[in-house]
């Protein structure tokens, strides 16, 4: 709480609290770089500790360093943390500060970093066109400077934003080298992102073969191995989606329930995975639609679980709008199945 209050003072009174010219000793620089890396690493394991470290780093950079690559980098990671609290305007502010400062300092690494991280925030905020532009710009810069982990982030969210704009094959072409490159650099976490995002693209196209199933199973294992908490949940629901696409509804239901259980302990403020609730509702809708062999008891159970997933989706989409359209669809479909056709028509036309 203390670091948050300090940062709000810096925001409200920058002339009084934020250093306007560069000046730092070696000890301060080392301290800032350690804090930055600790906040970044902890973002995958402990979101609250990471948020504290991010604020601490940002506050010290602003008071001790002034305009610098370290301060630009601190601003660049801001959107990842602010979007966890649905404060998208603050993420936009920090991103713009990072980009402008990096351009003045001619620091291409931080500039590319800022664009790729803003693409995540804009995806979660539902600004897919702008998010896609940022991802493309960030990937273009990072390719030239050779920051492969940041390239993985940029390519992953280039695909994410593309999905929401219906650019399935185009995004595959634009990131064609992504999967092979991630395998070559031996990053378990980044390779998992590549395999899972590739699988999801294929699921939208309707092209899930045995090779794609093997890839998503490997992605789940890689997320667990690298302790990538939110994406362990995310890739498990991708597996559920793949089973559903292959009409194996029993396996799809089992995996989406597994994802819902994992969510309780592994969510870790990974807001980009929250469309899993609409995904879960869709899996139950598809299982009911194809469930001629379901017993009355099973149908009642599926309807109860469908309702629960729909309500989870509605709750989370109120704060994070990137999957709100999908929520309206599954909510309308649920009401149609319940015989509430007027309400279903209202939601379908929203």
Cα separations (Å) of 280 from 196, 208, 217, 241, 274?
17, 19, 18, 8, 11
Strand, helix or coil for residue 165: coil
Q: What is the pLDDT of residue 344?
A: 66
User: What per-residue confidence (pLDDT) applies to 65?
Assistant: 86
Tell me what pLDDT residue 345 has: 65
Both tokens assigned to 14: 């920058």
Query: What per-residue confidence (pLDDT) applies to 250?
Result: 95
* Per-residue pLDDT tens digits for 266-304: 999 999 999 999 999 999 999 999 988 899 999 999 999
According to DSSP, residue 319 is labeled: T
Give the list of residues 6+ apart from residue 257 with CB closer than 8 angstroms, or none: 305
The pLDDT score that the predictor gives to residue 38 is 82
What pLDDT is recorded for position 184? 77
Q: How far apart are the C-alpha atoms of 153 and 181, rounded to whole Å? A: 13
Residue 205 CB coordination number (10 Å): 12
Residue 2 CA to residue 60 CA, distance in Å, equals 13
**What pTM did the predictor assign?**
0.92
Q: Please report how the helices 148-164 and 108-124 are oriented relative to each other, as an axis angle in degrees rounded to 10.
A: 30
- Give the integer Cα–Cα distance in Å for 292 and 17: 67
Tell which residue, 26, 29, 6, 32, has the closest CA to residue 18.
6
Helix ranges, the chain (H): 2-12, 14-17, 26-42, 47-60, 69-76, 78-82, 88-105, 108-124, 128-145, 148-164, 168-174, 178-184, 188-205, 210-225, 229-245, 249-266, 276-289, 296-317, 324-337, 341-348
Distance separating alpha carbons of residues 350 and 333, to the nearest angstrom: 13
Q: How much is the pLDDT for 347? A: 59
Q: Are 220 and 232 in contact (CB under 8 A)?
A: yes
Burial of 317 (0-12, 13-18, 19+ CB in 10 A): buried
Structural tokens at position 77: 């990671």
CB atoms within 10 A of CB 86: 15
Tokens 């056709």, located at residue? 341
pLDDT along the chain (350 residues), means of 10: 92 90 78 80 83 91 89 93 95 96 94 96 97 95 86 92 90 79 80 90 84 92 93 96 94 97 94 97 95 91 96 96 94 88 65
């Amino acid at each position: 709480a203390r670091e948050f209050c300090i940062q709000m003072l810096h925001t409200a009174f920058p002339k009084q609290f934020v250093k306007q010219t560069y000046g730092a000793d070696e000890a301060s620089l080392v301290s800032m770089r350690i804090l930055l890396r600790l906040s970044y690493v902890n973002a995958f394991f402990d979101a609250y500790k990471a948020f504290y470290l991010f604020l601490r780093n940002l506050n010290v950079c602003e008071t001790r360093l002034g305009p610098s690559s370290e301060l630009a980098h601190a601003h660049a990671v801001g959107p990842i943390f602010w979007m966890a609290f649905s404060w998208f305007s603050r993420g936009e502010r920090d991103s713009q500060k990072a980009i402008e400062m990096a351009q003045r300092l001619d620091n291409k690494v931080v500039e590319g970093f800022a664009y790729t991280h803003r693409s995540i925030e804009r995806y979660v905020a539902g600004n897919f066109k702008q998010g896609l532009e940022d991802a493309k710009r960030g990937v273009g810069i990072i390719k030239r400077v050779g920051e492969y982990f940041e390239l993985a982030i940029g390519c992953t969210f280039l695909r994410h934003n593309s999905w929401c704009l219906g650019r399935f094959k185009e995004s595959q072409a634009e990131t064609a080298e992504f999967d092979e490159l991630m395998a070559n650099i031996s990053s378990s976490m980044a390779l998992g992102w590549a395999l899972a995002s590739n699988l999801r693209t294929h699921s939208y196209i309707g092209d899930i073969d045995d090779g794609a199933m093997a890839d998503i199973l490997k992605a789940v294992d890689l997320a667990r191995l690298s302790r990538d908490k939110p994406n362990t949940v995310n890739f498990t629901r991708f597996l559920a989606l793949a089973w559903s696409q292959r009409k194996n509804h029993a396996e799809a239901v089992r995996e989406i329930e597994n994802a819902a259980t994992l969510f309780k302990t592994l969510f870790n403020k990974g807001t980009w995975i929250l469309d899993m609730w609409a995904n879960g509702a869709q899996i139950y809708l598809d299982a009911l639609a194809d469930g001629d062999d379901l017993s009355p008891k099973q149908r009642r159970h599926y309807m109860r679980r469908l309702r629960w997933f729909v309500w989870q989706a509605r709750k989370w989409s109120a704060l994070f709008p990137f999957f709100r359209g999908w929520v309206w669809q599954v909510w309308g479909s649920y009401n149609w199945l319940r015989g509430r056709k007027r309400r279903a028509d209202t939601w379908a036309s929203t």
